[in-house]
Chain A
Amino acid sequence: MGTRASLLITCLVDTLFPDVGRASVTILERVGVAVDVPLEQTCCGQMHQNAGHPKDATRLMRRTIEAFKDADVVVSPSPSCAAQVVEHYPHLADRTGDPGLIREARDLAARTRDLSTYLVEDLGLEDVDAPAFPHSVTYHPTCHGLRLLGIGDRPQRLLRNVPGIELRDLPQATSCCGFGGTFAVTNADVSTAMMSDKLRAVQDTGAEILTAADSSCLMHMGGGLSRQRAGVRPLHYAEILAGVAR
Chain B
Amino acid sequence: MSARWPETPVDFPKAAHETLKDSQLRSNLGHATTAIRAKREDVVSEVDDWESLRDEGAAARDRSLRRLDEMLVRLEESVTAAGGHVHWAADKESAQRLVVDLVKATGSDEVIKVKSLLTDELELNPALQDAGIHAQETDLAELIVQLGGDRQSHILVPAIHRNRREIRDIFRRELPGAEDVSDDPAALAEAARRHLREQFLRVPVAISGANAAVAETGTVAVVESEGNGRMCLTMPKTLITVMGIEKVLERWEDLGTIMRLLPRSSTGERMNPYTSLWTGVTPDDGPEEFHLVLVDAGRTNALADPVGRDTLRCIRCSACLNVCPVYERTGGQAYESIYPGPIGAILTPQLQGLDTAPTLPWASSLCGACYEVCPVKIDIPKILVHLRGRVTAETNASGKGHHAGAERLAMRSVARVMDSRRAYEAAQKAGRLGLSLMNNGRGARGALPGLSGWTGSRDLPDPERSFRDWWREREAGELEQGPDAPALPQAAQDPAARSGAAMPGTPGPEDALPTDVPRLHGEDRA
Partners in one complex: yes
- Taking Cβ atoms with an 8 Å cutoff, the residues of A that contact B are 9, 11-22, 25-26, 29-30, 37, 39-40, 42-43, 45, 47-54, 56, 59-60, 63, 91, 143-144, 146-148, 174-176, 178-195, 197, 219-220, 222-227, 229, 233-235, 239, 243-246
Contact A226 to B457, CB < 8 A, known contacts A37-B468, A185-B440: no
Interface presence of B194 (CB below 8 A): no
Interface presence of B367 (CB below 8 A): yes
B418's partner among A19, A60, A174, A244 (CB-CB below 8 A) is A60
B366's partner among A29, A39, A40, A183 (CB-CB below 8 A) is A183
Contact A180 to B367, CB < 8 A, known contacts A52-B385, A195-B457, A226-B497: yes
Interface presence of B88 (CB below 8 A): no
- Taking Cβ atoms with an 8 Å cutoff, the residues of B that contact A are 12-13, 16-17, 20, 26, 325-326, 329-330, 361-369, 371-372, 382, 385, 387-393, 403, 407-408, 411-412, 414-415, 418-421, 424, 428, 433-434, 437-441, 450-454, 456-463, 465-472, 483-485, 487-488, 490, 492-499, 501
Nearest residue (CB) in A for B496 is A226
Task: Please give 12 more A-B residue pairs, beta carbons under 8 A apart, in addition to A11-B437, A17-B495, A53-B415.
Answer: A15-B428, A26-B484, A48-B414, A60-B415, A63-B418, A147-B368, A178-B365, A184-B453, A188-B454, A193-B330, A226-B458, A244-B488
Q: Give min CB distance, A16 to chain B, whole Å.
A: 5
Q: Give min CB distance, A29 to chain B, whole Å.
A: 4
* Docked-complex contact B467 and A187, CB < 8 angstroms: no
* Docked-complex contact B467 and A59, CB < 8 angstroms: no
B470's partner among A16, A22, A51 (CB-CB below 8 A) is A22
Contacts of A43 in B (CB 8 A): 418, 424
Q: Give min CB distance, A118 to chain B, whole Å.
A: 16
Nearest residue (CB) in B for A80 is B366
Contact A14 to B466, CB < 8 A, known contacts A51-B440, A60-B418, A182-B441: yes
Contacts of A40 in B (CB 8 A): 421
* Docked-complex contact B421 and A185, CB < 8 angstroms: no
Nearest residue (CB) in A for B372 is A147
* Docked-complex contact B329 and A185, CB < 8 angstroms: no
Contacts of B434 in A (CB 8 A): 15-16
Most buried by B among A91, A191, A234: A191
* Docked-complex contact B392 and A187, CB < 8 angstroms: no
* Docked-complex contact A219 and B460, CB < 8 angstroms: yes
Given the complex of chains A and B, what is the CA–CA distance between A245 and B497 in angstroms?
13
Given the complex of chains A and B, what is the CA–CA distance between A71 and B256 in angstroms?
50
Contact A147 to B369, CB < 8 A, known contacts A59-B415, A219-B460, A243-B484: yes
Q: Give min CB distance, A244 to chain B, whole Å.
A: 5
Contact A21 to B440, CB < 8 A, known contacts A48-B415, A143-B365, A220-B458: no
* Docked-complex contact B367 and A147, CB < 8 angstroms: yes
A15's partner among B330, B367, B453, B466 (CB-CB below 8 A) is B466
Q: Give min CB distance, B405 to chain A, whole Å.
A: 13
Interface of B is mostly: helix
Nearest residue (CB) in B for A180 is B365
Contacts of B330 in A (CB 8 A): 190, 193
* Docked-complex contact B453 and A244, CB < 8 angstroms: no
Contacts of B499 in A (CB 8 A): 226, 229
Given the complex of chains A and B, what is the CA–CA distance between A49 and B390 in angstroms?
12
Q: Give min CB distance, B285 to chain A, whole Å.
A: 49
Contact A56 to B362, CB < 8 A, known contacts A16-B463, A225-B496: no
* Docked-complex contact B495 and A178, CB < 8 angstroms: no
Most buried by B among A53, A56, A245: A53
* Docked-complex contact A227 and B362, CB < 8 angstroms: no
**Can you show 22 pairs from A to B with CB atoms below 8 A apart?**
A15-B467, A16-B461, A16-B463, A16-B495, A22-B467, A25-B483, A39-B471, A42-B424, A91-B382, A148-B368, A176-B365, A185-B451, A186-B362, A190-B329, A190-B363, A195-B458, A197-B329, A219-B460, A223-B459, A225-B496, A235-B494, A245-B490
* Docked-complex contact A185 and B411, CB < 8 angstroms: no
Given the complex of chains A and B, what is the CA–CA distance between A246 and B407 in angstroms?
42
* Docked-complex contact B440 and A193, CB < 8 angstroms: no
Contacts of B459 in A (CB 8 A): 223, 226-227
Contacts of A48 in B (CB 8 A): 411, 414-415, 441
* Docked-complex contact B17 and A189, CB < 8 angstroms: yes
Contact A185 to B439, CB < 8 A, known contacts A15-B428, A56-B411: yes
* Docked-complex contact A182 and B440, CB < 8 angstroms: yes
Q: Give min CB distance, B306 to chain A, whole Å.
A: 11
Q: Give min CB distance, B32 to chain A, whole Å.
A: 15
Contact A224 to B389, CB < 8 A, known contacts A13-B467, A60-B415: no
Nearest residue (CB) in A for B464 is A18
Contacts of A13 in B (CB 8 A): 467
Given the complex of chains A and B, what is the CA–CA distance between A53 and B468 in angstroms?
27
Contact A18 to B465, CB < 8 A, known contacts A181-B366, A188-B453, A225-B496: yes
Contacts of A63 in B (CB 8 A): 418-419
* Docked-complex contact A187 and B363, CB < 8 angstroms: yes
* Docked-complex contact A42 and B388, CB < 8 angstroms: no
Q: Give min CB distance, B457 to chain A, whole Å.
A: 4
Contacts of B496 in A (CB 8 A): 222-223, 225-226, 233-234
Given the complex of chains A and B, what is the CA–CA distance between A155 and B207 in angstroms?
54
Contact A9 to B454, CB < 8 A, known contacts A51-B411, A180-B365: no
* Docked-complex contact B466 and A53, CB < 8 angstroms: no
Contact A190 to B418, CB < 8 A, known contacts A15-B428, A183-B366: no
Q: Give min CB distance, B412 to chain A, whole Å.
A: 6
Given the complex of chains A and B, what is the CA–CA distance between A63 and B418 in angstroms?
9
* Docked-complex contact B456 and A192, CB < 8 angstroms: yes
Given the complex of chains A and B, what is the CA–CA distance between A227 and B500 in angstroms?
8
* Docked-complex contact A190 and B419, CB < 8 angstroms: no
Given the complex of chains A and B, what is the CA–CA distance between A5 and B453 in angstroms?
38
Contact A52 to B368, CB < 8 A, known contacts A16-B461, A42-B424, A188-B454: no
Most buried by B among A37, A54, A186, A245: A186
Contacts of A29 in B (CB 8 A): 483
Contact A56 to B368, CB < 8 A, known contacts A11-B418, A14-B467: no
B415's partner among A56, A176, A181, A195 (CB-CB below 8 A) is A56
Contacts of B471 in A (CB 8 A): 21, 25, 37, 39
Given the complex of chains A and B, what is the CA–CA distance between A51 and B364 in angstroms?
11
A53's partner among B325, B392, B420, B451 (CB-CB below 8 A) is B392
* Docked-complex contact B419 and A19, CB < 8 angstroms: no
Contacts of B452 in A (CB 8 A): 188
